[in-house]
Amino acid sequence: MYQSRAKAAANGSSADLISFLKLFPEVPDPKRALLIPLLFAHLDPSRIPKPKQLDSILSDVARHPELDGIAGGLTALYEVSELLDVRLIQHPLYAELWPRLYPWLIFAHTYHDYIPVEYSMGLAQLHRASAFIILTIRTHGSMKAVVEKATGLRYILAGYWAKIVRKIISTDVEVAYILSFLSDCEEEGAANFQEVLDGIAGDPRDLAYLLVQQIKVTVASTVNDATNMAVGSILRVLNMHGSQSPLGEGMLLNGGVTAAMRAIAFQDRERRGGADWAGEQVYIGMLFLLGNVESGEGMEWISQALSSGLFKLIATMIRARQERSYELWYTFSLLERFLKVIFPEYLVHYKITVQMKTAISEAIPITSSPMFKTSFIYPFWVEFSDLVQERFRALDLFLNIDSRLLDACENMQCCKTGGKDALKRCAACGLALYCSRECQKADWVAAHRCSCQRLGSSGISSARGRGYLGAILQYNFQSCSIRRAVLTQQAQFMYRNPETEFVTVLDFTRNARGTHWIDMSGGWSEVKPISNYDALLGLKQIACRTRNGPVSVYLAALDFNKVVERMFPMWSTPQLHSKVAGIVQALPRGLKSAALDAALAQPLQALAANAAELMQEIYY
């Protein structure tokens, strides 16, 4: 019986091939390898019907020979996957098999739903067979590029992976190898990425959901080569396609901030365990996180990241980096960027500062450890810590005065002050305040028409946020040396540019001592002509005299990288401005820099010592 069936199958009959494989599953593997020539015959691409022929073949059961050819090809496809699984097909045959396997793979997945079940195989079975074929043949060096360039394979494996994650089907195929194949999209990246999206039958947001779910499953599993490969592949996809893109937005919507940090932490543990390759995965994961934190959605990213333990993650990574020379992947540069640039930029926001206060306290067991203090990144932490403590003191100042905070009418011809509920807000930006409809109309024509949209998109979304920004300036002006430095800059400008109205630009995204504004100026503040910012913020009316004289105008930089776009105006009482002007007007004309500085030193020292209250009276 066995011999007769084998002889019939060898003659090329699909029906006999199928029945042979079904009737004799116990045939030992070495003997099954003897079927390889027969499988070659049944995988002949010429047996695949053309699309125009397929409709008539499927609608006419009398056309048995064509259906028999389809059944034989699909059966051979499955049998090849089984032989590959037990390694009975060796590398030299891959190159000869692939031109036959590839067309059948595409045909099987394209028309699976239309082929009668008795001539095909189940969807789970087809997916499993396809995965074994694609992933096994790809492992051989000579075939890797051929398989990866073949159109449609990412579509097939992405669909399989999506069904696994969604628990539509189960599998014994290692998901890590599927993810590794899907993540290798660097060449023709856009087309390959779109093929993945088509395979999951969704958009980048759907892909984000699947990636988040996969991270949750993987990082909860046993640490081994497969889970490391899976996490590394996900981080690679996120870095290539997830920064400032719909995929990044999808991650934000699906809890991806927490998931991404868990993936980074997972790989960083491996790096600390001596796996140098894990350093690359940590680096690209941090690049992805950094890219989104610096995007238009950065506020939400940093907020979710802080809630999910970002400070603990960064503190742990800092502690582990004891010597710069041992860092093969320069993750330390990204950590430094968080400490020197990212966190200081976000410390101008009330919500983020409150979150940071909690997050930093949770990381104290790490940051207070002896090993943390020996990290070569520790000096940057000390510098950041000094700044953050200053911001916390400004926050405390704001919270202490919040209940008695006075606001001022935005109309500079009025500047009437009142309690928090006495003034009405602009409905568009939600930040400008007015004591009456008349003042609002006057200010709209004079200035607010230009600044309304920019104020609304400044990132300061509430009166509390605006008040905290003013409190930072109030806190800084508690320092006599800062008051004297700012007054000196203003007086120097007034002396050299008589009759020119000015603004004082304050860099709130660096520390209050101005040690890091090197590219822009030498210090913490800079005095500029107000005309420089007319078009940007509509400040023309601020140059007008109020009833009591000109006011001091401050522009706070909210984002160093977008300094032209992200400025926020504040002003104070006119009395101080007049006193500085009086000192300047009393000086003889024509003084050189050194003589001017000497002439201003004593009167400004006295003014700064007595002007604390005046300089701290900031209207928001």
Q: What are the 10-residue block averages of pLDDT along the chain, 620 residues in total? A: 45 53 53 76 88 75 72 90 86 91 95 81 92 93 90 96 94 92 73 92 94 95 88 91 84 92 89 73 88 85 93 92 74 88 87 93 93 92 89 89 63 69 79 85 77 66 78 86 89 91 77 41 69 61 50 68 57 73 92 94 91 70
pLDDT digits (tens, 9 = 90+) for 517-561: 344 334 567 888 877 776 555 555 554 444 455 667 777 766 645
**Among 261, 263, 160, 251, CA closest to 220:** 263
- Decide: helix, strand or coil at residue 572: strand
The gap from C-alpha 257 to its chain's centroid, in whole angstroms, comes to 8
Residue 185: the pLDDT is 60
3-state SS assignment for residue 433: strand
Q: Could you tell me if 608 and 483 are in contact, meaning their C-beta atoms sit under 8 angstroms apart?
A: yes
Q: What is the pLDDT of residues 390-434, one digit of tens each?
A: 899 999 988 887 544 556 777 767 767 766 677 888 888 777 888
- What pLDDT score does 429 carry? 77
pTM to 2 decimal places: 0.78
Q: In whole angstroms, give the CA distance from residue 327 to residue 319.
A: 13
Task: Tell me the CA end-to-end span of the chain in Å, nearest whole number.
Answer: 95
The single-letter DSSP state of residue 543 is G
DSSP H helical ranges for 368-477: 370-373, 378-401, 437-443, 449-456, 463-476
Residue 23: per-residue pLDDT: 46
Distance between CA atoms of residues 260 and 264, nearest Å: 6
**Which has the closest alpha carbon to 39: 92, 87, 89, 5?**
89
pLDDT of residue 497: 92
pLDDT at position 291 is: 87
Look-up of token digits 């991650």: 251
Q: Which residue has the tokens 């890797």?
A: 144
Supply angle C-alpha 326, 332, 335, rounded to 5.
155
